Amino acid sequence: MGGAGGGIVASTKLRVRYKDTDCMKVVYYGNYLTYFEVGRVEFLRQQG
């Protein structure tokens, strides 16, 4: 989706919470699906 292919693109801002990071201050991979779900819901919300 998006990029050079010309697909549908949507964006949203999301603050990364401290509890979602590891000791190196990087988002823990186990939380990726949570962020993907937030993105999916916001995309659908923007589509109406």
pLDDT tens for each residue of 1-27:
555 667 888 888 999 999 999 999 999
Residue (of 25, 48, 31) closest to 8 by Cα position: 48
Q: Where are the domains of the chain?
A: 3-47
pLDDT given for residue 10 in this prediction: 85
Asked whether residue 30 carries a pLDDT value surpassing 80, the answer given is: yes
Helical ranges in 1-48 per DSSP H = 32-47
In a 13 Å sphere around the CA of 48, the CA atoms on its Cβ side amount to 0
Kindly state the tokens that stand for 37.
């779900």
3-state secondary structure of 7: coil
More confident residue, 2 or 33: 33
pLDDT given for residue 6 in this prediction: 73
